[in-house]
Amino acid sequence: MQADLLLVAALLRRGRSLDHFSSALSLVAVVFGLVPWLGAQTNLISALICAALLIVGVAEKYWALRVALDAELFQRLAEAGEQLDSQTRALDQALQHLGLQNAQHSGRAWNQRCQGALSLLRRQALGLLLQIVIVVSGIFLAFA
């Protein structure tokens, strides 16, 4: 099981690269959104594109935070060795105490937890992909 947890933790750490790229795209949206303050003319379509890029960027940031948390937790639990079961119970209790997990999710098998964490990573990647589609569409509309 430790090998599985280490592998999932390594995959989840790739979310950091996705988040950096998404942050760069969000920064581009902010810069283009501030262009009117510098006296340049913009149109409604470019404003909407910037707004959409920022909204999707915020959603991606949310998923990135969850992925980063899971990456760290999976790494630490992979290093628990023989104490994995007791560490898992302690994690579930802490998550419930902080209101981050429902009691019904307590005691899930690690393969379910791995699939859930990888699902978060896929959502993060889809957020970045949507940002890329918005940017490409914006470029296409600008030159069309």
Contacts 24+ apart (CB under 8 A), 125-132: 125/18, 127/22, 127/56, 127/57, 127/59, 127/60, 127/63, 128/18, 128/21, 128/22, 128/25, 128/60, 130/56, 131/22, 131/25, 131/26, 131/53, 131/56, 131/57, 131/60, 132/25
Domain ranges in the chain are 2-143
Position 43 confidence tier, pLDDT thresholds 50, 70, 90: confident
- Residue with the bigger pLDDT between 35 and 8: it is 8
Whole-structure pTM over 0.85, yes or no? yes
Residue 34, pLDDT > 80, answer: no
Structure tokens at 83: 């104490």
